[in-house]
Structure 1
Amino acid sequence: MRPIRLLAPAAVGAAALALSACATTPYTGPVEVTRFVAPDPAGLGAGPLVVYFPDEVSNAVARTAMKTAVERELAALGYSIVAQEGPGIQVAAVRTSRTGIAAIEDGRGPVSVGVGGQTGSFGSGLGMGVGINLGGGRESPSVLTDLSVRITRADGETLWEGRSQIATGVKSPYSQIDASARTLAAGLFKDFPGGNGETVTINVKKLQGN
């Protein structure tokens, strides 16, 4: 029977480094936010407001997570969340989607947002970019999750509109619906209402705890 040979400490360390090099770090991009503010945003950030989805969201879990996250942020700003529209009640229209990065790279153009008489009137040509910066051994981003909210007065006049998005890899904890909803909503309403036509990127670590 051959004697068992023990690896020297240096060899053990080298083996550990080799294994760690093979591990893939989950990819989490920053939250990218673009916002527009009406010239006369009287009443913005206060009073009763109802949150609704103008488009069908087939994923009930995603719909609930996004609605909860948006309502939480709006309530923290000073709004009183109500269940139905009515006189003097502002409306927050929420849209959300998740798209594969491959589909974007294949030619899906950016979606612009704006406030006023026509889409993009406050920011024509300002599209949302994808802030992807990969280092060695990092997981590739696989999906782009976005959240957009438009706040209007009861008469339909738009007061504010914004959109936030985040690119994540499959292994990122921010790919989970609840985490992405909280993070996107927190980024969207950070420093509300923000500058008209501005686009900012926010590290997710700065949004933890929101």
Structure 2
Amino acid sequence: MALSPAFAPIPAFARPLGWGSGWGRSAWDDPLDRYPDRLSARAASRSRDSREGRVEVSRFAAQGDAAAALGHGPVTVESESGDGPWFDSGKRATYEAAIENALVGAGYDTLHPGATPGQVARLRITRQVLAPAEEKRSPVSGTAAMGVSNRGSAYGLGINIDLTKPRAALISTRLDTRIVDEASGKVLWEGYATIATREGDGDWSDDRIASKLATALFDNFPKADPVAVPEN
């Protein structure tokens, strides 16, 4: 009499039901991978604006005998406000002081401006919004996706927790300076410098912005070529 075997092989499934092939990758990996833009959009939006902290300068100088008058003698500093309620007299004084320091470094006498007919440096400070402040948002967001195939279906859920604060408005501050001959009114030199900073940023006080712009504007004075200024 033939004896039946004590153990019989157990048939195996051709592949795990509905979850892809092997341990290396499963359908759990697929749904969100198919939509990488959803996951990276928030991170990309938080990248630093390339304009922040950058200074741009343009300068123009008279030629001939008029140019020879630059960089020496008495000079008076005057300022006017720009468009909008940006600069009161107190804040303008900060920029006037920065320009006076730069003029002294360029060879001018700012201590005796009225001793003889000399030159007048006229300032204009303006600001404009380059990018508005971000709106408040929920710190928690998520992405859900479902994948379906002939092997089954899978569901994926991604949760993002963002505790960063909304960005303040990006503001451009522009300092225009024109040096004129006091007697004739002829323009001897003029230029402007701009910088973009975040509104209310503690790293960029009015004193620092004024000093940064004035220093860049009068670098190698009375050079008139556009100047590239490093951010730091």
Give the TM-score, by structure 2 length. 0.55
Aligned to 2:55: 31
Aligned to 2:72: 46
Aligned to 1:6: none
Residue number among 184, 200, 209 corresponding to 2:227 in the alignment? 200
CA deviations 1:42-71 (Å, max 9, x no partner) are 210000000012457852332111010000
Which structure's residues are more often helix, by fraction?
A: 1
SS in 2 for 1:39: coil
Q: Is the 8 A contact 1:71 1:81 kept in 2?
A: yes
Aligned to 1:64: 93
Aligned to 2:28: none
Q: Is the 8 A contact 2:87 2:125 kept in 1?
A: no
Aligned to 1:89: 118
Aligned to 1:186: 215
CA deviations 1:1-47 (Å, max 9, x no partner) are xxxxxxxxxxxxxxxxxxxx8xx687633110000010121210000
SS in 2 for 1:156: coil
Residue number among 167, 174, 177 corresponding to 1:146 in the alignment? 174
RMSD: 3.0
Q: Is the 8 A contact 2:176 2:192 kept in 1?
A: yes
How far apart are 1:192 and its partner, in Å?
1.2
58 and 96 in structure 1: CA distance in 2 versus 1, 3 angstrom threshold: closer
Which structure's residues are more often strand, by fraction?
A: 2
Q: Is the 8 A contact 2:174 2:195 kept in 1?
A: yes
In 1, Cα distance between the equivalents of 2:70 and 2:186? 11
In 2, Cα distance between the equivalents of 1:25 and 1:170? 17
Provide structure 1 residue ranges, at least 5 long, that are not aligned to the other structure: 1-20, 104-138, 206-210
Larger radius of gyration: 2
In 2, Cα distance between the equivalents of 1:37 and 1:180? 24
Question: Which residue type is aligned with residue 35 of structure 1?
Answer: R
Provide structure 2 residue ranges, at least 5 long, that are not aligned to the other structure: 1-42, 133-166
Q: Larger RCO: Structure 1 or Structure 2 (Cα < 8 Å, ≥ 6 residues apart)?
A: 1
Count of aligned pairs between the two proteins:
148
Q: Is the 8 A contact 1:90 1:152 kept in 2?
A: yes
25 and 66 in structure 1: CA distance in 2 versus 1, 3 angstrom threshold: farther
In 1, Cα distance between the equivalents of 2:94 and 2:101? 11
Q: Is the 8 A contact 2:81 2:88 kept in 1?
A: no
How far apart are 1:95 and its partner, in Å?
0.6
How far apart are 1:88 and its partner, in Å?
2.3
Question: Which residue type is aligned with residue 34 of structure 1?
Answer: S
Aligned to 1:162: 191
Map 1:97-112 → 2, pairs under 5 A: 97-102=126-131
Question: Which residue type is aligned with residue 190 of structure 1?
Answer: D
How far apart are 1:175 and its partner, in Å?
3.5
